[in-house]
Structure 1
Amino acid sequence: MPEDNPDRNVSLRNAVARRITSLRHEKRLSLSSLATEAGIGKGTLSELEAGTRNPTLGTLYALAGPLGVPLTGLVGDEVGRSVSDGVVDARLLSVRTHDDGGTTEVFWLTVAAGGTRVSPPHRPGTTEHLRVVRGSARVGEQGSEQLLAAGASHSWSGDTTHSYSSPDGAEGVLVIETPENVA
């Protein structure tokens, strides 16, 4: 996990700061407008851009949608890089940008026992697939989540609010397919 290695944590924080700032400027968004669109505080966004705040998975996903990028567009595509929010830890296994501009990201996902993480909608057309390897997880579009035991899988639309939870802790492989950015 990034918090286990202070140098790696600072490196991630600085890389995320540069990417968020660059993407915000590219989209010609003010700090206030991006914060509002992402549903986060302006102070939080300012600290992220300054590299003085550690990015959480929830905050990164909240920003990725309005900025029109997949998660790796903010954290980078370094295999083994991990982001966590205390409930979900996502460790990047692979990322591929396709000829049409779409992206496929593969993560090793760990969901803490008793925790729930609600994820905001991603770019339109995004699809998520989870195969549970150990434990059990309840995942999917909010309001129609599926309980999966080890060996089971489920796919859902990632461009709606969705959630991950686990009664006993879970590990699995999460594939996120993001279409080309047509915005």
Structure 2
Amino acid sequence: MVEDEAPSIRDMLAVNLRAARSARGLSLSELSRRSGIGKATLSQLESGGGNPTIETVFSLSRVLEVAISDLLDRRAGGAFTVVRGADVEVLRGEGVDLRQLRRIEAGDGVFELYDQVVRGDAAQRSQGHVGIEHTIVQTGRLQVEVAGRTVEVGPGDYVAFDAREPHCYTALEAPVHSVLLLQYRADERLDGQAHPVLNG
């Protein structure tokens, strides 16, 4: 049996960004103004073009007040699921590489599970986005700054915080391999419902 090729991050973002913007009643111009992302860039993203980065996707999540997976949803399914890291497209940022492994819906909440690598070439800053961010370090040492407070964590350590606060990850011993879990409440999902996605 040949499996269908999974849609790309660009394809998923194009479909879901249009749906989220429409549901929020925002024009491209207004979304551009609120997010600081150029109108031409947004138009390109909605057409399935461009090269979306972590910064772009997290900014859109913050402005639209939706879960990251509401923009990048792939809907992994089944009770027995295997996701090969090598088969997952990397969403790259200034200092972090993310691979979305799974979206988990439990009751009214949503959880997103990521393989996260914090590189040593730059700090990864976020203005904040919806959800609670949970990180478990596997290898390396990580500095986490949240709203002016700083902590260093190493292998086996865990840190969690309100992701709406400005935050920054910096690899002190690079690369830092970690598990990132984003947790969302029902009111942080677009209309509390699934969004239209490609291929089903």
Same-fold call, TM > 0.5? yes
Q: How does 1:19-168 map to 2 (within 5 A)?
A: 19-77=16-74, 78=76, 80-100=88-108, 102-123=109-130, 126-167=131-172, 168=174
2:80 aligns with: none
State yes or no: 1:169 paired with 2:166. no
Could you list the runs of 4 or more consecutive aligned residues of structure 1 that deviate by over 2 angstroms after TM superposition? 77-82
Alpha-carbon distance in 2 for matches of 1:173, 1:138: 15
Alpha-carbon distance in 2 for matches of 1:150, 1:11: 32
User: Could you say what secondary structure the match of 1:166 adopts?
Assistant: strand
> Cα RMSD between the aligned structures?
2.0
Alpha-carbon distance in 1 for matches of 2:152, 2:111: 24
Task: Give TM-score scaled by structure 2 length.
Answer: 0.78
5+ residue gaps, structure 2, are 77-82, 192-200
- One-letter amino acid matched to 1:96: I
Measured after TM superposition, the shift of residue 48 of structure 1 is 0.8
Rate the CA distance shift 1:94–1:140 in 2: closer, same or farther, 3 A: farther
Higher normalized contact order (CA 8 Å, seq sep 6+, divided by chain length): 2
User: Could you say what secondary structure the match of 1:95 adopts?
Assistant: strand
Measured after TM superposition, the shift of residue 139 of structure 1 is 1.6
Count of aligned residue pairs for this structure pair:
173
Deviations, residues 47-72 of structure 1 (Å, cap 9, x unaligned): 11122201111100100122222111
Task: Give TM-score scaled by structure 1 length.
Answer: 0.85
The percentage of counterpart residues that share the same residue type is 28
- One-letter amino acid matched to 2:23: E
**Considering only CA atoms, is the larger Rg found in Structure 1 or Structure 2?**
2
- One-letter amino acid matched to 1:113: G
User: Could you say what secondary structure the match of 2:140 adopts?
Assistant: strand
Measured after TM superposition, the shift of residue 99 of structure 1 is 2.0
Alpha-carbon distance in 2 for matches of 1:108, 1:160: 22
Measured after TM superposition, the shift of residue 142 of structure 1 is 3.6
User: Could you say what secondary structure the match of 1:145 adopts?
Assistant: strand
Rate the CA distance shift 1:94–1:11 in 2: closer, same or farther, 3 A: closer
